[in-house]
Structure 1
Amino acid sequence: MISALGSSVSEFLSNLDFLHSVYLSTTYPQMTVPSFRVENLKDGTIVLHYYSQRSGLNGIVVGIVKAVASIIFDVVVEMEITDWRCEIEGGKKEHTTFLVKIKDGSVEDDADIVPSLRTDFTYMTECPLRRLSRVSLMTHGSTSSVNKNQPLYQKEELNCPEKVMVDPQTFCKCFPYHVVFDGNLVIRQCGAKLQRLCPDLKQNGCGLDDFIVIKHPQISLNVASIRKFINMIFLVEVKVDKLEAAYRKIPNLSLRGQMVWMEELKCIIFLSSPRLISLQDLQDHNMHFSDIAPHDVTRDLILFNEQRGAEIELAKQLEEKKEELRILMQSLREEKMKTDALLYSMLPRQVANDLREGRHVEAGEFDAVTVLFADIVKFTDMCAKCKPIQIVNLLNVMYGKFDRLTNVHDVYKVRKPACSAFTAT
């Protein structure tokens, strides 16, 4: 996934915010993800802006960027912090500015970096972890065959028509959740579905700040701030009091999309779609697939997540059944051990096994046998004078000792009446 973000260090950093705002925010909904903004200077250096509510993570950013540049793009970068300040705009957060310089040439050989290790491990031609990382990443789209830090597709002059061949009504239907606003945040046009959700948008002169709140990136709602973060994914939330009455009791509607600055019109168009990830979200927002444009990948995302959820639920059920089966098998083994112990106490082991397996048991013959008959003297008189529980305890102790002795001396207990014992060996 990391190697697919871009074909150069600059493209990778430019799309790093997309990875955080979409992937991490979906996986961890309660997490406040950091923001990244990139400025490409004419001399080839990159200015990286890092915004985070958590402090002390600057070193991690430096390490990640250097590692990605080395492993994926096979280049060496130098990073230094040029500015650090705490900002209040859009919520309190740290704003750190890095200057990223890309050095000429590829990554240095390991012998120049750690010569002491090369002395001790001369049989190694390359660090196995480094080699493994490069090979695994190359199979997912390495840039080793192209010019380093250069995009795969260079910008070219577009052959734009003098007039856009689409009428406003068709455009509003094809992009049902778009918004066009000017430098004063006055809404000039919006999509058909958005007009149905927010009827007040049909009025002329409505202000954008009256209808939405920006959730990501955490900036103030003005054109200057939006243009500063123009290459980022924007997540906005529609204000509940501006929704139609039927949609005010449902979860807040969030829109995710891209801001585009139109220089000739001095306006910004927000191309967005509802932030829905499952059928449950669709139902909770009282919406249907017909409310999403056919070309919008949100439809595919909902179906994919529904299928993935069904597979996860099936795997969970199979795991639960497997655990139940394991518990039943363990209980069955324990009960079998109890049954065997009871059976062996009444019959010789070999005879008991033959009877259980349905085999005919023939009488055995022994040349010499020693038989012991044991009885408790005056047991009847003892029963008349003692309490029942005392008699039970006496027999329990006596039988326990006899059983231990029969096991020690390998004696078979033929019969054990109430007050006597009959054994043979």
Structure 2
Amino acid sequence: MYGAFLIEYTMEIGWDELLRTMSPNLKGFLDNLDSLHYFIDHVVYKANLRGPSFRCEEGDDNSIILHYFTGRPGLYPIVKGVVREVARRVFNMDINITIAGRTQRSVQMSTGERIEEHVIFNIKMGQSKQDGSSIIPPPLSPSDLDSGVLRVNQEDFCLAFPYHIIVDRECKVVQVGKDL
């Protein structure tokens, strides 16, 4: 419940846009969590904390195997709630998340001994709230990249890039960002 509350609170205080722009799918979001923790710890709060680490693997049947590493043992239930709530609020999908394994080991550091925990979560897509949603993106083929089709609508592009200029083949200005 705390993990779900943490996401609710984070989105209510204005970080919802950041969470929504991290990836178009859940696997990408989880793959980017290390960067998000680094940004929050080192840029926003200018702290020098060592955050958790996340690694994803593709599982069977459109599932994700999430590896969670931390120096703060016992917080894995929070991760479970965070992932479930992000899937629900950001990607509009219900997931089933279970613990597939949990190990702890002692690591010698220059400051002394520390316990490191490794928890393996199995994430399966449950009831989808929208058609075609996926926790793992479909693979792109070279023809997908060369099709010349814009995968973002004009409004979203302008929101993402308020300082842009688009010119045609004759170098005539076709579009300008709203902040220019």
Task: Report what 1:6 is aligned to.
Answer: 23
TM-aligned CA deviation for residue 14 of structure 1: 1.1
Task: Judging by fraction of residues, say which structure has more helix.
Answer: 1
Task: Report what 1:54 is aligned to.
Answer: 72
SS of alignment partner, residue 93 of structure 2:
coil
TM-aligned CA deviation for residue 68 of structure 1: 0.8
Task: Report what 1:95 is aligned to.
Answer: 118
Q: For residues 157-306 of structure 1, what are the structure 2 equivalents within 5 Å?
A: 157=142
Task: Report what 1:375 is aligned to.
Answer: none
Q: Deviations over 1:60-84 (max 9, x none)?
A: 1011111111111111111111111
Task: Report what 1:373 is aligned to.
Answer: none
Task: Report what 2:38 is aligned to.
Answer: 21
Task: Report what 1:148 is aligned to.
Answer: 133
Cα pair distance change 1:152/1:102, threshold 3 Å? closer
> Could you tell me how far apart the structure 1 residues matched to 2:139 and 2:35 are?
21
Which structure has the higher relative contact order (CA within 8 Å, separation 6+)? 2
> Could you tell me how far apart the structure 2 residues matched to 1:65 and 1:78 are?
10
Q: Is the 8 A contact 1:14 1:37 kept in 2?
A: yes
> Could you tell me how far apart the structure 1 residues matched to 2:138 and 2:47 are?
34
2:109 matches 1:86: no
Q: Is the 8 A contact 2:66 2:121 kept in 1?
A: yes
TM-aligned CA deviation for residue 86 of structure 1: 1.3
Identity across the alignment (%)? 27
Cα pair distance change 1:6/1:90, threshold 3 Å? farther
Residue of 105, 124, 140 corresponding to 2:128: 105
> Could you tell me how far apart the structure 1 residues matched to 2:76 and 2:140 are?
33
CA RMSD of aligned residues (A): 2.5
TM-score, normalised by the number of residues in structure 2:
0.58
Residue of 42, 57, 71 corresponding to 1:39: 57
TM-aligned CA deviation for residue 58 of structure 1: 1.0
Q: Deviations over 1:126-155 (max 9, x none)?
A: xxxxxxxxxxxxxxxxxx6x7312677842
Cα pair distance change 1:90/1:102, threshold 3 Å? farther
Cα pair distance change 1:96/1:152, threshold 3 Å? closer
Cα pair distance change 1:81/1:28, threshold 3 Å? farther
Q: Is the 8 A contact 1:66 1:77 kept in 2?
A: yes
Partner AA of 2:85 in structure 1: A
Cα pair distance change 1:150/1:30, threshold 3 Å? closer
Q: Is the 8 A contact 2:102 2:118 kept in 1?
A: yes
SS of alignment partner, residue 120 of structure 2:
strand
Q: Which runs of 5+ in 1 are unaligned?
A: 107-143, 159-425
Higher CA-based Rg? 1
Q: Is the 8 A contact 1:81 1:99 kept in 2?
A: yes
Q: Deviations over 1:248-299 (max 9, x none)?
A: xxxxxxxxxxxxxxxxxxxxxxxxxxxxxxxxxxxxxxxxxxxxxxxxxxxx
Partner AA of 1:22 in structure 2: F
Task: Report what 2:86 is aligned to.
Answer: 68
Aligned length: 120
